[in-house]
Structure 1
Amino acid sequence: MKTMPSRIIAVRDEGKDRKTITVHNKEIAEKAHPGQFIMVWIPGVDEIPMGISHIGREEISFTVHRVGEATNALYNKRVNEYIGVRGPYGRGFKEVDGNIIVIGGGTGTAPLMPLIRRLCERGGNNVTVINGAKSIDEMVFKGELNELAKLGKIKYIPATEDGSLGYKGLATTLLENLLREGEMPNEIYVCGPEVMIKRVVEIALERGIHVQALVERYMKCAIGICGSCTMDPLGIRVCVEGPVIPIEILAKITELGVYKRDSSGRKIKI
Structure 2
Amino acid sequence: MLIDKNLMRLVKIEDVSIETPTVKTIFFKDSLSSVSKPGQFLMVWIPRKEELPLSVMISDKKKYAAITIKKNGYGSTSLFNKDIGDRIGIRGPFGNSFSCNKALNNVIFLGGGTGLVPLVRLLYYIKGYDSKFTFIMGAKTKSEIMFTELINEWAKVKKIDLHIATEDGSLGAKGYPTDILRDFLSVHKDIDMIYTCGPELMMKKAYDLATKYSVHMEASIERYMKCGIGICSSCCINDKLVCVDGTIFNEIKIQKLTEFGVSYRNKSGILTKF
Q: Which of the five TM-score ranges fits, normalised by the shorter chain? A: over 0.9
Task: Check conservation: 2:40, 2:96, Cα contact below 8 A.
Answer: yes
Aligned residues: 266
CA deviation vs aligned residue, 1:177-222 (integer Å, no higher than 9, x gap):
0111225311110001010111111000111110000111110111
CA deviation vs aligned residue, 1:148-189 (integer Å, no higher than 9, x gap):
234343111111111111111110010010111225311110
Per the alignment, residue 162 of structure 1 pairs with 168
Per the alignment, residue 87 of structure 1 pairs with 92
**Is residue 33 of structure 1 aligned with residue 4 of structure 2?**
no
Per the alignment, residue 265 of structure 1 pairs with 269
- Where does 1:12-161 land on structure 2 (aligned, <5 Å)? 12-30=17-35, 32-54=36-58, 57-96=62-101, 97-120=104-127, 122-161=128-167
Q: Which amino acid aligns with 2:210?
A: A
Report the alpha carbon displacement of residue 146 of structure 1 after superposing the two structures with TM: 2.2
Task: Check conservation: 1:40, 1:85, Cα contact below 8 A.
Answer: yes
Task: Check conservation: 2:200, 2:261, Cα contact below 8 A.
Answer: yes
Task: Check conservation: 2:165, 2:172, Cα contact below 8 A.
Answer: yes
For residue 177 of structure 1, give the secondary structure of its aligned residue in structure 2: helix
TM-score normalised per structure 2: 0.94
Distance across 2 between alignment mates of 1:152 and 1:95 = 17
Q: Which amino acid aligns with 2:253?
A: I
Q: Which amino acid aligns with 2:154?
A: L
Distance across 2 between alignment mates of 1:48 and 1:25 = 17
- Among residues 198, 205, 210, which one is paired with 2:216 in the alignment? 210
Displacement over 4 Å in runs of 4+? none
- Where does 1:4-15 land on structure 2 (aligned, <5 Å)? 4-15=9-20
CA deviation vs aligned residue, 1:11-36 (integer Å, no higher than 9, x gap):
11111311111111113223x10000
- Among residues 227, 235, 248, which one is paired with 2:252 in the alignment? 248
For residue 191 of structure 2, give the secondary structure of its aligned residue in structure 1: coil
Task: Check conservation: 1:110, 1:140, Cα contact below 8 A.
Answer: no
For residue 93 of structure 2, give the secondary structure of its aligned residue in structure 1: strand
Distance across 1 between alignment mates of 2:173 and 2:206 = 17
Structure 2: runs of 5 or more not aligned: 1-5
For residue 239 of structure 1, give the secondary structure of its aligned residue in structure 2: helix
Task: Check conservation: 2:266, 2:272, Cα contact below 8 A.
Answer: yes
Distance across 2 between alignment mates of 1:168 and 1:51 = 28
Residue range with higher mean Cα deviation, 154-163 or 142-151: 142-151
Distance across 1 between alignment mates of 2:138 and 2:90 = 29
Distance across 2 between alignment mates of 1:29 and 1:151 = 24
Distance across 1 between alignment mates of 2:56 and 2:32 = 14
TM-score normalised per structure 1: 0.95
Output the aligned Cα RMSD: 1.3
Aligned identity (percent) is 38
Structure 1: runs of 5 or more not aligned: none
